[in-house]
Amino acid sequence: MLTHELLTQSIPFLVPQDKIHLGLELMNEHHVAHLPIVEAEKYLGMISEDDLLQAENDHDPISSMEQSFTGFSVKANDHFLKAVQMAAENGLSLVPVVDEKNEYLGIVSYSDLLKHAADFMSLSEPGGLIVLELPSNQYSFNEISKLVETNDAQITQLNTSNDAENGMMQVTIRINKPEISDIVATFQRYEYNVKYFFGEEIYENDLRTNYDNLMNYLNIG
């Protein structure tokens, strides 16, 4: 699943001329702690509620807070797990989505990302998840399935997404066993690029924190 599939336009953006108090009002109205700043369709950055609250005069324009703008964003064809990672690691309530020209397309909210991730990965059921990236012309379901099966496991779900611009494919596979470090090692041994993986083992994983966040979400949701 790619980020553009989760886009929403229901949360507004700010322009540099907007007053600081308007930004705070919009954040309160839409229950978010951040808003993107856009000018002539170009994404300029994002401002947080905490930064706006520190302004001396809330009638000053948003542009007066330019030093506090942050450049967090993802591309439309990025895997949505990248947005999950970015939001979790940086405490973001939303993640702006831009195109290759840095033109603003919309946002994905962190709450929506968690909901879709929980549904997409069926985290309430035992098992692991692996995301592979490979050239589209090298994709072989039979080979991927065979490598999983050599580790006494089976694929229970498989999704693919293509990036037409660079010819790369992302393959998300759900495995019926939670211990997946051996499977990850097998893919790496066969020179597959393992982008993300989730399992029950404690190992070095860029998205381990996000896995815990998702599990916490399921426990309290």
Q: Where are the domains of the chain?
A: 3-115, 123-203
Q: Going residue by residue through the chain (221 aa), what tens digit of pLDDT does each one get?
A: 778 888 888 899 999 999 999 999 999 999 999 999 999 999 999 999 999 999 999 999 999 999 999 999 999 888 887 888 788 888 899 999 999 999 999 999 988 887 777 666 555 567 788 889 999 889 999 999 999 999 999 998 888 888 767 778 989 888 988 888 899 999 999 999 998 787 655 344 444 555 555 555 555 44
Three-state DSSP at 12 gives coil
Judge whether 3-115 and 123-203 match in fold: no
CATH class of 123-203: alpha beta
Give the helix/strand (H/E) hosting 86.
Answer: helix 80-90
Per the CB < 8 A criterion, the answer to whether 17 and 66 are in contact is no
- The DSSP code for 15 is -
Distance CA 123, CA 198 (A): 10
CATH superfamily of 3-115: CBS-domain (3.10.580.10)
Q: What is the pTM of this model?
A: 0.62
